[in-house]
Amino acid sequence: MPKPSTLLPLILCLAIPALAQSPAQSEIDKDLFEVTVPQLHALYASHKYTVTQVVQWHLARIHKYNGIYRPIEQILEKEALAQAAQEDATANEAATVGDPQWIFQDCYDPNGCGKSAGIAQTAATAANKHIETGPHGPLWGIPIVLKANTSIAGQITTDGWAGYTIPGKELIAPRDATIVARLRAAGAIIIGHTNMPDFAASDTNRSSSFGRTGNAYDVRFSPGGSSGGTVTAVTSNMTVLGNGTDTGNSIRMPAATSAVVGVFPTRGLVSIAGIAPLDWLLDNTGPIARNVTDAAIALSVMAGTDASGKPTPDPLDPRTAEAPAKAQPGPYTQYLKPGSLKGRRFGVPAFILKGTDVPFQGIAAIVPQAQAEAEELRTATPLQPATRAAFLKSLDGLRAAGAEIVFDDNIMPDSFAKIASRVGTLPYIREGTENFLKDFGPALYHSPEEYEKAVGKPLPRTVIGDSGSNDRRGLPAQSQAHIETDPAYAANVTKPREEALKIFDETLKRYHLDGYVYPATQMPPPDETMPQNGEISGGPHSETSWVNILGVPAVVVVGGFYPGGLPFGLEISTRRWHDGDLLGWAYDYEQHTHHRHPPTLVESGLLPDASWQQK
């Protein structure tokens, strides 16, 4: 596989004129480009296309553009076509597209549902008359991609790292991650594993296992990380939707760079079992889609909502145990209603506008306060003027929908950031890796020790922690420990997290707020053909890792575009377990603004393999 280096051998991209297409090809292109889940189900119900044809169309786009943008690390063509043929065979045996509610998921607009309104109406009539029989899942026949840290049975979980791809010693998943099993059961067709930076530990998308992913709106620019592969595939119409993972911003920030919707659920709503961890106390997974409706459908599936709408707990992820009792019931499409924003109040966190930082993975109790404050200053990321302007402009859409925006220096001030910064999770990252390898490691190794024995070198400190007296930042380090037995766990995590969450909730109550709104990044996507501050770009960066610390839900919607044509993302967050309300607000904003437009892709422009040269 191609390997990355510190060089950026990129040249300007030149578009190639599209070849003339046959009428049939032009028709399928028109029908499937930007297609939604409900629209695609309507097309299936009308028997216009088979699942195989739809999968082939998306695979063709991958083959056409993946060499330039490189979002897909592993193309699962054989497996996807086999599953598509199986679903087609089932359909030919008188299966149905499913409950009519899934057909109408995006039909809340009183003016109709766009290009497929007539088809959807026909499909609903057929379903209501029970012309066809037999249940299908809510994602039946939907091509999806999964991030490369998400276990797919029989496939290599590269986690973006070359060390998991060593021939004969690959991390081949023995079974599906929990969300993968749920997506399969819902009828989704997995067409690829998406590129990501090593262990998801970067704000850009360069991996040692595959190379660089470029932004679909301009391949020279960063798509963000660590879910940059998924957002690029989704926004480029190489797939309908996918999953991302998020330890500090890694669903939300890439979604912002690429004009897609990224959902960070309340931590515990969706199981992370079977996803290679970066920091299991902060990790989360959620859907990435081109519109809120598709994201809501996917979230219902990933949460395992049952017939009553309650999410299903997963024994392999203890934090899901409280979800059935506390979460708003699904399906989450029931919250997508016009007028959801009317009368709502949203506060703007003051510390984000100032650029005050909550350092990634926080600062453990062992670190003296003076050193902690110095680290916070060192990592602070000012809000760039272009992003501030884009953010203020994006608020017009909220106001047009009837929402009120509240600016006040006491709404989430620097004092909140300082408390949230003291949630220090670094002493516990090894336990997360141990748990993952135990249940989802290959036959050759089920622990970090067994990996080292098999390969001859240890796993990197990124996922097993620090063994010396200082951590990766040069701060005093506590030895790795297990949360169940470490007497310092309360001081490191529980107490400061509870204090920060109290400020979050009390501020909502004191200002009569429904949620918070803020820019998903502190800057536009950077041009990776040019140095940023004298270094190769590692961004764009954000000030949103506090969402992971608190475990509150957040969603990024398309907030507009910068003058140069790159997307801007607006982030909204709210109280824990109010995921349905959050998606309702996102939907109403989307319907009022219609900011998204797809990128115009090029077919050539990089070096032949679009990868990195070796030193």
Token pair of 24, please?
Answer: 């049939």
Q: State mean pLDDT over 601-611.
A: 63
What confidence category does residue 123 fall into, taking pLDDT thresholds of 50, 70 and 90? Answer: very low
Pick from 65-74, 101-110, 146-155, 207-216: least confident: 101-110
Percent of the chain with pLDDT over 90: 84
Question: How confident is the model at residue 263, as a pLDDT?
Answer: 99
1-426+495-615: CATH, from 3.40.50.2300, 3.90.1300.10, 3.40.50.1370, 1.20.1560.10: 3.90.1300.10
Residues designated as active site: 147, 226, 250
C-alpha torsion 601→603→607→612, nearest 10: 40
- 451, 459 Cβ separation under 8 angstroms: yes
Other CB atoms within a 10 A radius of the CB of residue 596 amount to 18
CA distances from 489 to 292, 419, 480 (A): 37, 16, 11
Helix (H, G, I), strand (E, B) or coil at 225: coil
pLDDT for residue 128 is more than 80: no
- 287 exposure class (CB count in 10 Å sphere: 0-12, 13-18, 19+): buried
Distance of alpha carbon 216 from alpha carbon 69, whole angstroms: 7
Distance of alpha carbon 533 from alpha carbon 193, whole angstroms: 33
Picking from 497, 502, 431, the residue whose alpha carbon sits closest to that of residue 464 is: 431
Question: How confident is the model at residue 538, as a pLDDT?
Answer: 86
Question: How confident is the model at residue 23, as a pLDDT?
Answer: 53
Question: How confident is the model at residue 614, as a pLDDT?
Answer: 29
Query: Is the Cα dihedral 243, 285, 334, 83 positive or negative?
Result: positive
Distance of alpha carbon 252 from alpha carbon 226, whole angstroms: 10
Distance of alpha carbon 263 from alpha carbon 585, whole angstroms: 13
Q: What is the pLDDT of residues 427-485, one digit of tens each?
A: 999 999 999 999 999 999 999 999 999 999 999 999 999 888 999 999 999 999 999 99
Backbone φ, ψ for residue 130 (5° rounding) = 55, 40
- Residue 150 pairs with which residues in a beta bridge? 275
Q: State mean pLDDT over 404-429.
A: 98
Token pair of 202, please?
Answer: 């970067």
Q: State mean pLDDT over 168-189.
A: 98
Distance of alpha carbon 190 from alpha carbon 491, whole angstroms: 42
pLDDT for residue 1 is more than 60: no
Question: How confident is the model at residue 245, as a pLDDT?
Answer: 98
Picking from 178, 134, 214, 589, the residue whose alpha carbon sits closest to that of residue 402 is: 589
**Where is pLDDT greater, at 157 or 537?**
157
Q: What is the pLDDT of residues 457-466, one digit of tens each?
A: 999 999 999 8
